[in-house]
Amino acid sequence: MYQPRRIVGALLENVSRVIVGKEEAIEYALIALLCRGHVLIEDVPGVGKTTLASALAKSLDCSFRRIQFTPDLMPSDVTGYTLVNIRTGEEEFREGAVMSQVVLADEINRTSPKTQSALLEAMEEHQVTVDGVTHALPTPFIVLATQNPDAFTGTYPLPEAQLDRFFLRISIGYPTQEQEMEVLNRYTGQVKPLETLQPVCTAQDVVAMQEAVGGIFCAPQVRSYVAAIAAATRATPSLQLGLSTRAAIALLRGGQACALLDGREYVVPEDIQHMALPVCCHRLVVNPEARMKGATAEAVMQSVMNKVAVPVRM
């Protein structure tokens, strides 16, 4: 258990050199990495969404590509395309930007839904299919996506199928006045902190940690707890769309990662509760009537968690 915790601690410390006072957001992003999941970072402009994703990417000794999602971005720019070599007459595959271990999808909701959907297969099956030919993605593979809130000008809401493929969603938020002073101190020099980051974790380390998460024991009572939470969201009148089975698996997997980081070989209900909001809220769709009354996915999810019976530890 010690090795994964040591590596995650090193990653947390490294990213914290760039992102000040947001340890919880960084921890959630690292948990997604351990669970082979993808991260959606949603917040207003200028609070460090891209910086957080870039800092995590630079902390990993993995191949890295950044895709700037713009209105004119085409699906082939993401997945790649096939062309015919004039000299040989043979077809050749030209890799798209997604063919990398760490992909930063910057401002993902500023491109068209057609281009957004180019990531669906890659995020779920770790492969892309171009002109009928399937190409495997490297291992490990993680998408770190940033987006501005839907109400902002020039954004396209991500479809439910896309949102469900993100393991969790995190928000950074504005810093406190003291934290902002520290940011100003760090970023007023000639060298930006992001430029000084060095990798502290290899691709092999990431794969080993991901395998370790899968080995964490989960009792039937805890699995039943997760299933009950998912069922409760589907029966909640204020929700138009509850949790999918993929979401339930992600919630259980997140609990395993929490246990690993806490030095335990088993999952407890508190691990599930800790992961419930970041894993589940972005997958819920509040119906229009409830939304008009001020209901939010976070409030509804918290209400569900309060109502579902918590299993007693044996």
| pLDDT per residue of the chain (314 residues) written in tens, 0 to 9 | 447 778 888 999 999 888 888 889 999 999 999 999 999 998 888 888 888 888 888 899 888 889 999 889 999 999 999 888 888 888 888 899 999 998 999 889 888 888 888 899 999 999 999 988 899 999 999 999 988 876 566 677 888 888 999 999 998 888 889 989 988 888 887 778 888 889 998 889 999 999 999 999 999 999 999 999 999 999 999 999 999 999 999 999 999 999 999 889 999 999 999 999 999 999 999 999 999 999 999 999 999 999 999 998 65
Question: Alpha carbon 114 to chain centroid distance?
Answer: 21
Report yes or no on whether pTM surpasses 0.85.
yes
- Evaluate the CA torsion angle 254, 149, 75, 163 in order and state its sign: positive
Residue 16 identity (one-letter amino acid): S
Question: What does DSSP say about strands 142-147 and 168-170: parallel, antiparallel, or unpaired?
Answer: unpaired
- Domains of the chain, first to last: 2-206 (3.40.50.300), 216-307 (1.10.8.80)
Query: What span, in angstroms and rounded, lies between the C-alpha atoms of 20 and 18?
Result: 6
Residue 25 identity (one-letter amino acid): A
Backbone φ, ψ for residue 239 (5° rounding): -105, 130
Beta pairing partners, 239:
286
The position carrying tokens 């993902």 is 108
HSE (CB half, 13 Å, CA atoms) of 287? 12
